[in-house]
């Protein structure tokens, strides 16, 4: 399902009574097109004279970018409500998902048979449901053991990863490509030299229509077709 503002508000009010004693005032609600998070509580933060923080101007955001199972949407709403409860009550947790957050999360999970987690990992079905075409910068690594690996680079880290990946001890050779195949949506864009192992036949199927990238100094461009044998 893709959540609506009406659905989020309805669930917020339901869970507020059920899990939070009805003590949370309604925040502003927004839908987000973000791919990098399922939910978020935005807020204004000001520092007090004693060094602690005061939180205000809360905005409750839930991503409607892709279809999600309804129970995942519900657990996301509850996840963000725990954040909101901590912030609204000006509690100073040990970290974003610190001691207070985890204690509340575990209590709600146990009492109401929920599956709230600190972070959400997409299921195979969720990954395959993302069919939007967007550009991916892909390093295909030939590993020393004969396996293949891929890295989906964040654009801001392209030059750094181009230099770093060949230096990894398990890497024999690297080639770079650009592709808009939705298959690559399932891999996270990375800022670090992270390599995902992948079956060669699966890779060949989806890299077939990609364009190889060439680098010379501080310039990178797509290779002409006759340079890649296409």
Domain coordinates in residue numbering, the chain: 5-125, 133-228
Backbone dihedral angles phi then psi of residue 195, each to the nearest 5 degrees:
-115, 125
Q: Is the pLDDT of residue 10 over 60?
A: yes
Q: In what order do the strands lie in the sheet with 196-198?
A: 196-198, 148-153, 136-143, 171-179, 211-216, 219-222
Reported CATH class of domain 5-125: alpha beta
Q: In what order do the strands lie in the sheet with 39-47?
A: 28-32, 53-63, 39-47
Question: What is the token pair recorded at 57?
Answer: 């101007």
Q: For 46-69, how does the pLDDT look when each residue is reduced to its tens digit (9 = 90+)?
A: 989 988 889 999 999 998 877 788
The partner residues of 173 in beta bridges, in order of sequence, read 142
Question: What is the token pair recorded at 165?
Answer: 């990946």
Quick one: pLDDT band at residue 1, thresholds 50, 70, 90?
confident
- Residue 184, exposed/middle/buried by CB under 10 A (0-12, 13-18, 19+)? buried
Does the predicted model carry a pTM greater than 0.75?
no
Q: For 81-135, how does the pLDDT look when each residue is reduced to its tens digit (9 = 90+)?
A: 999 999 999 998 888 899 999 999 999 999 999 999 987 555 555 555 556 788 9
Quick one: pLDDT band at residue 186, thresholds 50, 70, 90?
confident
């Amino acid at each position: 399902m893709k959540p609506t503002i009406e659905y989020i508000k309805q669930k917020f009010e339901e869970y507020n009574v059920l899990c939070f004693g009805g003590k949370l005032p309604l925040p502003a609600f927004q839908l987000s097109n973000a791919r990098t998070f399922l939910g978020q509580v935005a807020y204004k933060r000001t520092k007090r004279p004693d060094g602690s923080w005061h939180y205000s101007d809360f905005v409750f955001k839930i991503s409607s970018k892709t279809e999600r199972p309804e129970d995942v949407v519900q657990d996301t709403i509850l996840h963000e409500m725990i954040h909101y409860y901590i912030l609204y009550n000006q509690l100073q947790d040990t970290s974003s998902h610190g001691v207070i957050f985890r204690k509340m999360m575990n209590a709600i999970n146990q009492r109401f048979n929920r599956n709230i987690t600190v972070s959400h990992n997409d299921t195979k079905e969720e990954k395959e449901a993302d069919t939007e075409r967007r550009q991916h910068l892909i390093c295909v690594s030939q590993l020393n053991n004969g396996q293949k690996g891929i890295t989906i680079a964040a654009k801001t880290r392209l030059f750094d990863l181009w230099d770093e990946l060949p230096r990894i001890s398990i890497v024999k050779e690297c080639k770079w490509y650009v592709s808009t195949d939705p298959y690559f949506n399932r891999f996270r864009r990375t800022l670090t030299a992270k390599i995902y192992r992948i079956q060669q036949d699966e890779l060949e199927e989806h890299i077939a229509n990609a364009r190889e990238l060439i680098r010379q100094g501080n310039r990178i461009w797509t290779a002409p077709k006759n340079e890649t044998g296409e």
